[in-house]
Chain A
């Protein structure tokens, strides 16, 4: 079955460490997105990519980095520069086109210890 796989489901990071969250899709979708979810704040866009080797900053890109070397993969690195990284991270993808819905992964919960 096609879908989006995020791993790991839970991740713990020490202060000052970089961590990378994985997102893989086998839906042949062109566009991929990373969102951060915090209680009471909804979802905020971190980065997105429409095509391979190209990506754009979202609303809260500071302290994060991404790459898009393959169509099916869009990993997110949470760097030590991110002041408050504890959150639930969601990856999504969609085919390009008006009105096409987004498919979401099951999320990664990152906790700084």
Chain B
């Protein structure tokens, strides 16, 4: 079945540091890939997505590129802020009417001033 693997956390960075959060996936078809962010006590918000190979999703300074050859969708940001502290989830959704969203376990990012 489909699966998503995220790097182990938590991650703690200083403000303005470079961020990389690794995500790899296993899927039978050609999935769409997503990054979601969850702030404390809240639901998930879509951060960015990519629907086909070599697509780059971007939002709020975050970027991720759909790499089919390495089955990866790593999240990057050049300069993190304290307000980026949250839990980040990588997810995939197969094509088709009955598709479901499969999540990684999430990783907690803490950014210190």
Contacts and interface: CB of A to CB of B under 8 A. Distances in A.
A98 B32 contact: yes
Contact of B98 (A56, A99, A103, A105): A56
Contacts of A48: 100
Contacts, number: 54
B51 interface: yes
Interface residues of B, number: 23
Interface of A: 4, 6, 33, 35, 40-43, 45, 48, 50, 56, 58, 90, 92, 96, 98-99, 101-107
A104 B43 contact: yes
A99 B97 contact: no
Nearest to A105: B43
A109 B36 CA distance: 19
Contact of A92 (B49, B97, B101): B101
Nearest to A45: B100
Contacts of A41: 105
A102 B105 contact: no
Contacts of B32: 98-99
What are the 5 A-B residue pairs with the smallest beta carbon separation, nearest first?
Answer: A99-B51, A104-B43, A42-B105, A99-B32, A104-B44
